Amino acid sequence: MFSCGQSHRTYQAKILFKPCYHQASGERSPYQQENNMKFTYLGHAAGYLETASERFLFDPFLTGNPKASIRADRIDPTYILVTHGHSDHVGDSVAISKRTGAPIITTFELSQWLEAQKAKVESLNHGGSQDFSFGRITITIAFHSSSVTEEGGRPLYLGEPAGIVLETEGRTIYHAGDTALFSDMRLIGDETPIDLALLPIGDRFTMGPKQAKKAVEFLRPKHVVPIHHGTFPALTGDPHEFVKLAKGTGAEIHVLQPGESMSFT
Protein backbone atom coordinates (compact mmCIF):
# COMPACT_ATOMS: atom_id res chain seq x y z
CA MET A 1 0.00 0.00 0.00
CA PHE A 2 1.08 3.58 -0.50
CA SER A 3 -0.14 7.04 0.45
CA CYS A 4 -1.50 9.56 -2.01
CA GLY A 5 1.26 11.42 -3.84
CA GLN A 6 4.02 9.13 -2.56
CA SER A 7 6.78 8.16 -4.99
CA HIS A 8 6.45 4.45 -5.61
CA ARG A 9 6.64 1.64 -8.07
CA THR A 10 3.36 -0.12 -8.59
CA TYR A 11 2.32 -3.53 -9.82
CA GLN A 12 -1.43 -2.93 -9.78
CA ALA A 13 -2.63 -0.58 -12.48
CA LYS A 14 -6.00 -0.06 -10.82
CA ILE A 15 -4.30 1.38 -7.74
CA LEU A 16 -1.82 3.51 -9.69
CA PHE A 17 -4.41 5.40 -11.64
CA LYS A 18 -7.06 5.73 -8.96
CA PRO A 19 -7.39 9.42 -7.95
CA CYS A 20 -6.74 10.18 -4.28
CA TYR A 21 -9.73 11.21 -2.18
CA HIS A 22 -10.45 12.10 1.43
CA GLN A 23 -12.36 9.16 2.83
CA ALA A 24 -14.75 11.39 4.77
CA SER A 25 -15.52 14.19 2.32
CA GLY A 26 -14.94 12.66 -1.11
CA GLU A 27 -12.78 15.64 -2.09
CA ARG A 28 -9.43 15.03 -3.72
CA SER A 29 -6.46 15.26 -1.42
CA PRO A 30 -3.64 15.96 -0.65
CA TYR A 31 -3.42 17.92 -3.90
CA GLN A 32 -6.03 20.42 -2.76
CA GLN A 33 -4.19 21.20 0.46
CA GLU A 34 -0.54 20.68 -0.44
CA ASN A 35 -0.76 21.43 -4.18
CA ASN A 36 1.14 18.24 -4.99
CA MET A 37 1.20 16.78 -8.46
CA LYS A 38 2.14 13.22 -9.37
CA PHE A 39 3.82 12.19 -12.61
CA THR A 40 3.96 8.52 -13.57
CA TYR A 41 6.28 7.34 -16.34
CA LEU A 42 4.45 4.80 -18.52
CA GLY A 43 7.41 3.86 -20.75
CA HIS A 44 8.96 5.35 -23.91
CA ALA A 45 7.59 8.93 -24.15
CA ALA A 46 4.27 8.24 -22.42
CA GLY A 47 3.42 9.81 -19.08
CA TYR A 48 0.45 10.41 -16.80
CA LEU A 49 0.13 13.59 -14.74
CA GLU A 50 -2.39 13.68 -11.89
CA THR A 51 -3.35 17.05 -10.43
CA ALA A 52 -6.05 18.10 -7.98
CA SER A 53 -8.65 18.30 -10.72
CA GLU A 54 -7.39 16.64 -13.91
CA ARG A 55 -5.51 13.67 -15.36
CA PHE A 56 -3.24 14.38 -18.34
CA LEU A 57 -1.96 11.60 -20.59
CA PHE A 58 1.09 12.36 -22.77
CA ASP A 59 1.97 10.51 -26.00
CA PRO A 60 0.14 7.27 -25.09
CA PHE A 61 2.09 4.61 -26.99
CA LEU A 62 1.00 1.63 -24.86
CA THR A 63 -0.22 -1.15 -27.18
CA GLY A 64 2.86 -2.64 -28.83
CA ASN A 65 5.22 -0.85 -26.44
CA PRO A 66 7.48 -3.51 -24.87
CA LYS A 67 8.14 -1.23 -21.89
CA ALA A 68 4.54 -0.09 -21.25
CA SER A 69 3.50 -0.32 -17.61
CA ILE A 70 -0.26 -0.37 -18.22
CA ARG A 71 -2.76 -1.44 -20.88
CA ALA A 72 -4.55 1.24 -22.86
CA ASP A 73 -7.95 0.08 -21.63
CA ARG A 74 -6.95 0.56 -17.97
CA ILE A 75 -6.21 4.27 -18.04
CA ASP A 76 -8.72 7.10 -17.61
CA PRO A 77 -7.39 10.57 -18.55
CA THR A 78 -9.42 13.76 -18.79
CA TYR A 79 -7.05 15.16 -21.48
CA ILE A 80 -4.64 13.56 -23.96
CA LEU A 81 -1.62 15.55 -25.19
CA VAL A 82 0.19 14.39 -28.34
CA THR A 83 3.42 15.93 -29.61
CA HIS A 84 3.60 14.52 -33.16
CA GLY A 85 2.32 11.93 -35.59
CA HIS A 86 4.75 9.04 -35.27
CA SER A 87 3.05 5.84 -34.19
CA ASP A 88 5.19 5.54 -31.06
CA HIS A 89 3.64 8.79 -29.81
CA VAL A 90 0.09 8.84 -31.21
CA GLY A 91 -0.19 5.26 -30.01
CA ASP A 92 -3.58 4.55 -28.46
CA SER A 93 -4.80 8.15 -28.52
CA VAL A 94 -7.86 7.54 -30.67
CA ALA A 95 -9.04 4.46 -28.79
CA ILE A 96 -8.58 6.12 -25.40
CA SER A 97 -10.29 9.32 -26.55
CA LYS A 98 -13.30 7.39 -27.87
CA ARG A 99 -13.60 5.32 -24.70
CA THR A 100 -13.16 8.13 -22.16
CA GLY A 101 -14.33 11.21 -24.05
CA ALA A 102 -10.99 12.90 -23.33
CA PRO A 103 -10.07 15.41 -26.05
CA ILE A 104 -6.71 15.07 -27.79
CA ILE A 105 -4.81 18.37 -27.77
CA THR A 106 -2.26 18.54 -30.57
CA THR A 107 -1.13 20.37 -33.71
CA PHE A 108 -3.50 21.31 -36.51
CA GLU A 109 -2.76 18.75 -39.25
CA LEU A 110 -2.46 15.93 -36.76
CA SER A 111 -5.73 16.92 -35.11
CA GLN A 112 -7.51 16.79 -38.49
CA TRP A 113 -6.23 13.25 -39.08
CA LEU A 114 -7.29 12.14 -35.61
CA GLU A 115 -10.69 13.82 -35.92
CA ALA A 116 -11.27 11.91 -39.17
CA GLN A 117 -10.97 8.77 -37.04
CA LYS A 118 -13.80 10.09 -34.80
CA ALA A 119 -11.59 11.23 -31.94
CA LYS A 120 -12.44 14.40 -30.03
CA VAL A 121 -9.74 17.00 -30.66
CA GLU A 122 -8.52 20.49 -29.77
CA SER A 123 -6.04 21.96 -32.26
CA LEU A 124 -3.30 24.53 -31.77
CA ASN A 125 -0.14 25.32 -33.66
CA HIS A 126 3.42 26.42 -33.03
CA GLY A 127 3.75 29.59 -31.00
CA GLY A 128 0.06 29.56 -30.12
CA SER A 129 -1.51 29.19 -26.70
CA GLN A 130 -5.02 28.39 -25.57
CA ASP A 131 -6.74 28.75 -22.22
CA PHE A 132 -8.72 25.79 -20.94
CA SER A 133 -10.65 25.22 -17.73
CA PHE A 134 -7.52 23.64 -16.19
CA GLY A 135 -5.08 26.36 -17.28
CA ARG A 136 -3.13 26.93 -20.48
CA ILE A 137 -1.45 24.95 -23.28
CA THR A 138 1.31 26.32 -25.52
CA ILE A 139 2.72 24.53 -28.56
CA THR A 140 6.46 24.98 -29.07
CA ILE A 141 8.75 24.00 -31.90
CA ALA A 142 10.62 20.71 -31.98
CA PHE A 143 13.21 19.54 -34.51
CA HIS A 144 12.18 16.09 -35.70
CA SER A 145 9.60 14.79 -38.21
CA SER A 146 5.94 13.80 -38.07
CA SER A 147 4.23 11.21 -40.27
CA VAL A 148 2.57 7.83 -40.44
CA THR A 149 3.29 5.11 -42.96
CA GLU A 150 0.43 4.32 -45.30
CA GLU A 151 -0.17 1.15 -47.25
CA GLY A 152 2.67 0.55 -49.67
CA GLY A 153 5.18 2.29 -47.42
CA ARG A 154 4.23 5.86 -48.34
CA PRO A 155 4.69 8.41 -45.54
CA LEU A 156 1.69 10.62 -44.81
CA TYR A 157 2.75 14.08 -43.63
CA LEU A 158 1.03 15.14 -40.42
CA GLY A 159 2.38 18.63 -39.88
CA GLU A 160 5.43 19.68 -37.92
CA PRO A 161 6.44 18.02 -34.64
CA ALA A 162 5.98 19.95 -31.42
CA GLY A 163 6.75 20.30 -27.77
CA ILE A 164 3.94 21.02 -25.33
CA VAL A 165 3.97 23.41 -22.38
CA LEU A 166 1.19 22.71 -19.88
CA GLU A 167 0.43 25.34 -17.23
CA THR A 168 -2.00 24.14 -14.59
CA GLU A 169 -2.67 24.77 -10.90
CA GLY A 170 0.38 27.00 -10.52
CA ARG A 171 2.84 24.56 -12.11
CA THR A 172 4.42 24.28 -15.56
CA ILE A 173 5.26 21.00 -17.31
CA TYR A 174 7.19 20.84 -20.58
CA HIS A 175 7.08 17.70 -22.74
CA ALA A 176 9.74 18.20 -25.42
CA GLY A 177 8.37 15.46 -27.67
CA ASP A 178 11.02 14.02 -29.97
CA THR A 179 13.56 16.70 -30.74
CA ALA A 180 17.12 17.71 -31.38
CA LEU A 181 18.70 20.28 -29.13
CA PHE A 182 17.85 23.86 -30.17
CA SER A 183 18.93 27.15 -28.67
CA ASP A 184 15.40 28.55 -28.44
CA MET A 185 14.86 26.24 -25.49
CA ARG A 186 16.28 29.20 -23.58
CA LEU A 187 13.21 31.21 -24.58
CA ILE A 188 10.87 28.45 -23.43
CA GLY A 189 12.52 28.57 -20.02
CA ASP A 190 12.45 32.37 -20.00
CA GLU A 191 8.74 32.54 -20.83
CA THR A 192 7.54 30.42 -17.91
CA PRO A 193 9.69 28.84 -15.17
CA ILE A 194 9.45 25.07 -15.69
CA ASP A 195 8.71 22.78 -12.76
CA LEU A 196 9.00 19.49 -14.67
CA ALA A 197 10.69 18.84 -18.03
CA LEU A 198 10.27 15.56 -19.90
CA LEU A 199 13.28 15.26 -22.21
CA PRO A 200 14.20 12.57 -24.76
CA ILE A 201 17.70 11.18 -24.31
CA GLY A 202 17.70 8.03 -26.49
CA ASP A 203 20.00 9.40 -29.22
CA ARG A 204 19.90 8.40 -32.92
CA PHE A 205 16.42 9.88 -33.50
CA THR A 206 16.49 12.56 -30.77
CA MET A 207 18.93 14.19 -28.38
CA GLY A 208 21.36 11.95 -26.57
CA PRO A 209 22.49 12.46 -22.97
CA LYS A 210 25.09 15.11 -23.84
CA GLN A 211 22.63 17.26 -25.79
CA ALA A 212 19.90 16.71 -23.19
CA LYS A 213 22.27 18.05 -20.52
CA LYS A 214 22.64 21.23 -22.56
CA ALA A 215 18.83 21.37 -22.88
CA VAL A 216 18.61 21.34 -19.08
CA GLU A 217 21.00 24.29 -18.97
CA PHE A 218 18.85 26.17 -21.49
CA LEU A 219 15.49 25.35 -19.86
CA ARG A 220 16.51 25.62 -16.18
CA PRO A 221 13.73 23.31 -14.87
CA LYS A 222 13.36 22.26 -11.25
CA HIS A 223 12.81 18.58 -12.11
CA VAL A 224 13.65 16.45 -15.16
CA VAL A 225 12.49 12.98 -16.16
CA PRO A 226 14.47 11.44 -19.07
CA ILE A 227 12.23 9.72 -21.61
CA HIS A 228 12.43 7.98 -25.01
CA HIS A 229 15.30 5.67 -24.11
CA GLY A 230 15.77 1.92 -23.91
CA THR A 231 12.45 0.96 -25.49
CA PHE A 232 14.14 -0.49 -28.57
CA PRO A 233 17.81 -1.45 -29.20
CA ALA A 234 18.40 1.65 -31.34
CA LEU A 235 17.68 3.97 -28.39
CA THR A 236 21.03 3.64 -26.67
CA GLY A 237 21.08 6.85 -24.60
CA ASP A 238 21.88 5.96 -20.99
CA PRO A 239 19.83 7.79 -18.31
CA HIS A 240 22.57 7.25 -15.72
CA GLU A 241 25.10 8.92 -18.00
CA PHE A 242 22.61 11.77 -18.32
CA VAL A 243 22.41 12.06 -14.51
CA LYS A 244 26.20 12.36 -14.28
CA LEU A 245 26.36 14.94 -17.06
CA ALA A 246 23.51 17.01 -15.61
CA LYS A 247 25.07 17.18 -12.16
CA GLY A 248 25.58 20.82 -11.28
CA THR A 249 22.79 22.15 -13.53
CA GLY A 250 20.56 22.77 -10.51
CA ALA A 251 17.84 20.42 -11.75
CA GLU A 252 16.75 17.31 -9.86
CA ILE A 253 16.92 14.35 -12.26
CA HIS A 254 14.45 11.50 -11.71
CA VAL A 255 15.28 8.27 -13.55
CA LEU A 256 11.97 6.41 -13.47
CA GLN A 257 11.29 2.87 -14.57
CA PRO A 258 7.96 2.34 -16.36
CA GLY A 259 5.26 2.38 -13.68
CA GLU A 260 7.26 4.48 -11.22
CA SER A 261 6.05 7.88 -10.05
CA MET A 262 7.45 11.10 -8.63
CA SER A 263 5.60 13.86 -6.81
CA PHE A 264 6.46 17.54 -6.95
CA THR A 265 5.08 20.80 -5.56
pLDDT, tens only, 113-145: 999 999 999 999 999 999 999 999 999 999 999
Which is it for the CA torsion 62, 64, 70, 72, positive or negative? positive
Question: Residue 30, preceding bond cis, omega within 30 degrees?
Answer: yes
Domains in the chain with CATH codes:
35-256 (3.60.15.10)
| Integer Cα distance of 188 and 119 in angstroms | 30
pLDDT digits (tens, 9 = 90+) for 163-215: 999 999 999 999 999 999 999 999 999 999 999 999 999 999 999 999 999 99
How many other CB atoms are there within 10 angstroms of residue 233's CB atom?
Answer: 6
Q: Around 31, how many Cα atoms within 13 Å sit in the side-chain half-sphere?
A: 23
- Flag whether the pTM goes above 0.75: yes
Is residue 136 within 8 Å of residue 192, measured between CB atoms?
Answer: no
